């Protein structure tokens, strides 16, 4: 029975001698069953003389769903080696290291609950009935063990920024200027092809921070990056051109469409202010159609599209004509981007691009001219999206997880802890902890 109970408890190096019922669960008495515990941790000499017994009560995981109290009757030994600086020592086993009040598996379980289970520090502390500093230290140790120091090579790299908390500044009396101690922006690097999730984060949103992170990777790692997906950020563009000159930049189509929708909104607000002398409000048809104007025509029925065009033509000409021109230009741009993943030929792409440019020029609207200039500036990167279909959706999903982790933790005071928590949360699928099986 004792051997079966010892195997059921599962603490290596400890043997169960008795089990009794306590007021809050079973009380298990233990003795040391590992002969290596009699060896001096300093010199390795096997001890022969005992200095008596000590009783410790290490805390452990529940057994059978019930909290279990452990009582370990262990010996204190004398070291008889003349040259050893250690005069005496107490038994210790791998399951309960020396000077620890928690078993190793309890400490590992608390760290895994945060890193792999998605719990917060306080939630894991309450579930395992330990203090939050213990959970925080266990999480840091668990993350260091499961997260690789260097990410594996990637073929498609995604770069995007996310905002966190409030910035902090510090006044430098020597120069008489303020400088940033904690930046509110973090830049994340994601694997968009291999499923590794978040590869790393750096504080700050400058080209230097991006270049420094990429320069810290081996040269062979940088040479394997073929595509880099970004939004229309000149900071990221210059950094990639400097650090990864052989990689092809790809602009995410979501940001291009977002810019086109913002252009339609700018035109609507400007003409409304010029004609009506105020902002749009209920009763103004162009204001009531504001949400429909940003929808894709391909996702609306033909009758709804015809109704929208009729509504715009029925407005005063100084309002309806500019809005209709901006809406048509936006739809031309969407038709061009919709050619992605369809293996379009060169003529089709050129015709659609020409139609978009002509629409912007003929309208005479400054907002559309600015949109056309932006598309022309970023056209090589937009064309790369049309040919490859690569998007930055993985980076955007990582940003959502980053904000969720920060919201669950009620904010972070330490950006290093936030980056570690975020990286663990975004790599759970890659590490096999989100498999429903």
What CA–CA distance (Å, rounded) separates 142 from 136? 10
262 and 245 share one domain = no
What pLDDT, in 10s, does the model give residues 30-47?
999 888 888 998 888 888
Per the structure, how many domains does the chain have?
4
Last-in-domain residue among 146, 176, 210? 146
Between strands 156-163 and 227-230, the pairing is: parallel
Last-in-domain residue among 85, 101, 117? 101
Residue closest to 337 by CA, chosen among 425, 254, 228, 408: 254
Residue closest to 374 by CA, chosen among 231, 238, 241, 276: 231
Mean pLDDT of the chain: 91
- Residue at 24 is within a domain: yes
262 and 370 share one domain = yes
What pLDDT, in 10s, does the model give residues 70-124?
999 999 999 888 888 888 999 999 899 888 899 999 999 999 999 998 899 999 9
240 and 261 share one domain = no
| pLDDT recorded at residue 431 | 86
Q: Is the dihedral of CA 421, 425, 431, 436 positive or negative?
A: positive
Q: How confident is the model at residue 1 (pLDDT cuts 50, 70, 90)?
A: very low
Enclosing H/E stretch for 335: helix 317-337
- Residue at 95 is within a domain: yes
Give me the long-range contacts of 182-186 (CB less than 8 A, separation at least 24): 182/415, 185/161, 186/161, 186/162, 186/402, 186/415, 186/418, 186/419
What CA–CA distance (Å, rounded) separates 318 from 359? 18
In this prediction the pTM is 0.83
Question: What distance, in Å, lies between the first and last C-alpha atoms of the chain?
Answer: 35
60 and 168 share one domain = no
Contact indicator for 40, 79 with CB cutoff of 8 Å: yes
Determine the angle formed by the axes of helices 302-314 and 317-337, rounding to 10 degrees: 150
| pLDDT recorded at residue 2 | 55
- Residue at 435 is within a domain: no
What CA–CA distance (Å, rounded) separates 307 from 390? 35
What pLDDT, in 10s, does the model give residues 61-85?
988 888 889 999 999 999 888 888 8
Q: Which domain holds residue 30?
A: 2-101
For residue 236, give both structure tokens. Answer: 């990221």
Q: Which residues contact 112 (CB under 8 A, 6 or more apart)?
A: 142
Q: What is the mean pLDDT of residues 135-143?
A: 94
- Residue at 167 is within a domain: yes
16 and 119 share one domain = no
What CA–CA distance (Å, rounded) separates 304 from 349? 27
- Residue at 432 is within a domain: no
261 and 381 share one domain = yes
- Residue at 431 is within a domain: no
Q: What is the mean pLDDT of residues 293-322?
A: 94
- Residue 387 burial by CB count (10 A; 0-12/13-18/19+): exposed, middle or buried? middle
SS3 277: coil
- Residue at 436 is within a domain: no
Q: Which residue has the tokens 């949400």?
A: 291
357 and 408 share one domain = no
131 and 202 share one domain = no
- Residue at 434 is within a domain: no
CATH number at residue 212: 3.30.420.10
364 and 274 share one domain = yes
What pLDDT, in 10s, does the model give residues 236-267?
999 999 999 999 999 989 999 999 999 999 99
Determine the angle formed by the axes of helices 121-128 and 132-146, rounding to 10 degrees: 110
258 and 329 share one domain = yes
232 and 323 share one domain = no
| pLDDT recorded at residue 249 | 96
Between strands 25-32 and 69-78, the pairing is: parallel
117 and 195 share one domain = no
Q: Which residues contact 281 (CB under 8 A, 6 or more apart)?
A: 287
């Amino acid at each position: 029975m004792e051997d079966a109970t010892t195997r059921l408890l599962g603490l290596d190096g400890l043997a169960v001698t008795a089990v009794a019922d306590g007021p809050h669960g079973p009380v298990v008495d233990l003795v040391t069953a590992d002969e290596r515990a009699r060896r001096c941790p300093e010199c390795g000499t096997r001890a022969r003389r005992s200095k008596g017994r000590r009783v410790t009560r290490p805390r452990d995981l529940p057994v059978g769903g019930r909290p279990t109290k452990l009582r370990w009757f262990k010996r204190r030994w004398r070291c008889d080696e003349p040259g050893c600086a250690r005069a005496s020592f107490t038994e210790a086993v791998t399951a309960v290291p020396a000077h620890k009040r928690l078993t190793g598996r309890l400490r590992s379980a608390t760290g895994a609950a945060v890193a792999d289970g998605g719990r917060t520090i306080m939630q894991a502390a309450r579930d395992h009935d330990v203090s939050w500093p213990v959970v925080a230290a266990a999480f840091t140790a668990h993350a260091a063990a499961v997260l690789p120091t260097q990410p594996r090579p990637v073929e498609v790299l995604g770069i995007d920024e996310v905002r966190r908390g409030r910035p902090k500044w510090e006044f430098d009396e020597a120069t008489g200027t303020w400088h940033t101690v904690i930046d509110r922006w973090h830049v994340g690097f994601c694997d968009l092809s291999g499923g590794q999730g978040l590869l790393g984060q750096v504080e700050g949103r400058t080209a230097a921070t991006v270049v420094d992170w990429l320069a810290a990777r081996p040269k062979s790692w940088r040479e394997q990056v073929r595509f880099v997906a970004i939004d229309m950020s000149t900071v990221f563009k210059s950094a990639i051109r400097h650090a990864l000159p052989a990689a092809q930049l790809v602009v995410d189509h979501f940001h291009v469409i977002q810019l086109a929708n913002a252009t339609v909104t700018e035109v609507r607000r400007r003409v409304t202010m010029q004609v009506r002398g105020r902002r749009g409000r209920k009763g103004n048809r162009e204001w009531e159609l504001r949400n429909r104007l940003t929808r894709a025509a391909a996702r609306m029925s033909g009758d709804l599209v015809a109704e929208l065009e009729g509504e715009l033509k029925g407005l005063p000409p100084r309002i309806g004509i500019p809005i209709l021109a901006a809406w048509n230009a936006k739809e031309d741009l969407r038709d061009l981007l919709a050619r992605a993943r369809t293996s379009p030929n060169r003529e089709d792409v050129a015709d659609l691009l020409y139609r978009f440019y002509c629409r912007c020029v003929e309208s005479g609207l400054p907002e559309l001219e600015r949109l056309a200039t932006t598309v022309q500036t970023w056209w090589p990167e937009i064309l790369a999206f049309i040919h490859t279909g690569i998007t930055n959706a993985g980076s955007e999903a990582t940003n959502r997880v980053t904000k969720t982790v920060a919201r669950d933790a009620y904010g972070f005071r330490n950006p290093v802890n936030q980056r570690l928590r975020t990286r663990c949360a975004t790599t759970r699928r890659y590490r096999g902890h989100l498999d429903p099986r």
